[in-house]
Structure 1
Amino acid sequence: MSSPDPSHALLRRIADALDRLAPPAPAKTDFEAAEAFVWRADSGALAPVKRVNRVDLSLLRGIDRVRDLLVENTQRFARGLPANNALLWGARGMGKSSLVKSAHAAINRETDVAGRLKLVEIHREDIEGLPALMGLMRDAPYRFIVFCDDLSFDAGDTSYKSLKAVLEGGVEGRPSNVLFYATSNRRHLLQRDMMENERSTAINPGEAVEEKVSLSDRFGLWLGFHHCSQDD
């Protein structure tokens, strides 16, 4: 009777160790669990938000024009019509993020799309996880607004390329059931000194700066928010 091959036992122990190290596959998302979710990059999963922190759309004053434009864009998207990614930029405290959440809630209450429009928040530091997030939503029978609050990029930060790839479509193409809304206090998402540094070191300075400025251009809808008086 031959003795067991010790190499087989070693290989089994290695395989068992690798199984323990491998992260568990993310659970299938139950999109019926809520109308809003938060992307958890560490687990690669969407966490349902049972109660969204928002106000009624009618309470947002002094921003009538941008409100109407965003609501119309959101309505079109919810009904499967052409719509634009939106960048809400400008002064702090003017209701940019409140408008996104309130517009989503208002449209989601309309009878023809009730409950079919989901709001998914992704934190600024998790932008590089956008491709994985898109994969979760691509084949789901819902429409999604991916929302990033206070978005901007500092010197040395290359994660903007993940966002640009999603906005442009990349190889797979942005899913037709996904739209991207972002708020920022900057009209251009990258700092000017960052763009100037790229200009000074690039082989083709014009193309380097154009690549960074064009990130904001990937948003088809720009909505500016400006300081207003209490009377407004």
Structure 2
Amino acid sequence: MLNLESLLKRFEHLLPPPHAELDWSAPAFRWRKKVALGTSVGWLEAIHQPHRIRLDDLQNVGPQKAEIERNTRQFVQGRLANNVLLTGARGTGKSSLVKAVLHQFAAEGLRLVEVDKDDLCDLADIVALLAPRPERFIVFCDDLSFEEGEGGYKALKSVLDGSVAAQSSNVLIYATSNRRHLLPEYFDENLQTRHVDGEIHPADAVEEKISLSERFGLWLRFYPFSQDEYLAAARHWLAEFGLRHWDETLEREALNWALGRGSRSGRVAWQFARDRAGRQG
């Protein structure tokens, strides 16, 4: 009898927690998966302390900020809104902008569900789980890109616009990517008179790649920071960390910091400010 009870406890440990026990008051969730008895099982994990960042903290992305705030406000108010694709230069605030709108609208019932690219095959199940809830959910896919033949590509495409089932009114998808069209593109694809890897109609292959990104109703493009924009972001974050003094020495250090990383961006400015604030206690 004891052996049977021990075996049952081990079996329960392998299973994910039931959805009925999920704390829906949490502002954010993460889709988790594990393999139990040879079967892959997914569940939502509540995140009670998500990364909190304000819209005012994001520098040099004013038009993008205004658009995503407007779209999200329409969504939480029960009006029509679009899925959003944020693309462009790394470190310019794409992911932070999504986290910031959660912080802005969480009190109005907005929730964020983070889904890893490798788990997008479960997207239809996730949406079905969220659809009966009264909250409004943003399904967040960060750093999204696909290689040829990945299953998550078709799952995302279907949920965005191509399924026979109607789209859920309380779920939107916000995705970030460094690729505008989410799939690798090749120079040969522009040569309409040549065959590309045996493809008889290469233009159709190009259309297939573009079709996924076009299913996002709102595109927001992000660009590398200029030197002045980078320095403004560094000054902002230094002030946020309690260091309001700014002089030529700090400016030179900030520029050298960016030079050492080969990039001027909001992320690099934030990292520089954290380093300086940490050194000064």
Q: What are the equivalent positions in structure 2 for 1:71-220 lying under 5 Å apart?
A: 71-109=69-107, 114=108, 116-193=109-186, 196=189, 200-202=197-199, 204-220=201-217
Q: Deviations over 1:116-163 (max 9, x none)?
A: 111000011111110111110111111110001000001332320000
Aligned equivalent of 1:50, options 48, 51, 70: 48
SS of the residue aligned with 2:186?
helix
Write 1 or 2 for the structure with the bigger share of helix: 2
**Pair 1:40 & 2:32 matched:** yes
Provide the rounded CA distance (Å) in 1 between the counterparts of 2:65 and 2:144. 20
In the other structure, the counterpart of 1:10 is none
Is the CA contact 1:77–1:83 (under 8 Å) kept in the aligned structure 2? yes
CA 1:125 to 1:193, structure 2 compared with 1: closer, same or farther past 3 Å? same
Question: Deviation of residue 211 (structure 1)?
Answer: 2.0
Give the match's secondary structure for 1:180.
Answer: strand
Q: How much does 1:86 deviate?
A: 0.3
Segment of structure 1 superposing worse, 39-48 or 57-66: 39-48
The residue that corresponds to 2:240 in the other structure is none
Query: 1:224 aligns to what SS in structure 2?
Result: strand
What residue ranges of structure 2 are gaps of 5+ in the alignment? 1-10, 35-40, 190-194, 230-281
Q: Secondary structure of 2:105's partner?
A: helix
Whichever residue aligns with residue 165 of structure 2, its letter is E
Q: Secondary structure at the match of 1:213?
A: helix
Aligned residues: 207
Secondary structure of the 1:69 match is helix
Distance (Å, rounded) in 2 between the aligned partners of 1:53 and 1:65: 23
SS at match of 1:48: strand
Cα distance change, pair 35–194 in 1 and its aligned pair in 2 (3 A): farther
Name the stretch that deviates more: 146-155 or 198-207: 198-207
Letter in 2 for 1:208: A
- CA spacing shift, 1:171–1:199, aligned 2, 3 Å: farther
TM-score normalised by structure 2 residue count: 0.68
Contact between 1:54 and 1:98, CA under 8 Å: does it hold in 2?
no
Please list the CA deviations of residues 164-183 of structure 1 after superposition, one character each: whole Å capped at 9, or x if unmatched. 00001502122111000000
CA contact (8 A) 1:195 1:212 kept: no
Report the CA distance shift for 1:96/1:204 in structure 2 as closer, same or farther (over 3 A).
same
Within 2, Cα distance between the matches of 1:53 and 1:95? 14
User: Relative to 1, partners in 2 of residues 1:86 and 1:194: Cα closer, same or farther, differing over 3 Å?
Assistant: farther
Letter matched to residue 40 of structure 1? R
**2:228 is matched with which residue?**
231
> Which amino acid in 2 is paired with 1:28?
A
Unaligned 5+ segments in structure 1 are: 1-19
Question: How many percent identity over aligned positions?
Answer: 46
Contact 2:92–2:223 (CA<8 Å) still a contact in 1?
yes
The structure-2 alpha-carbon separation of the partners of 1:194 and 1:80, relative to structure 1 and needing over 3 Å to count, comes to: farther
Looking at structure 1, the residues matched to 100 and 125 of structure 2 have their Cα atoms a distance apart, in angstroms, of: 27
Letter in 2 for 1:165: S
Evaluate the alpha carbon distance shift between residue 136 and residue 220 of structure 1 in structure 2; reply closer, same or farther with a 3 A threshold. same
- CA contact under 8 A between 1:27 and 1:45: conserved in structure 2? yes
Which whole-Å CA distance do the structure 2 matches of 1:91 and 1:35 have between them?
28
CA distance in 1, matches of 2:78, 2:200: 43
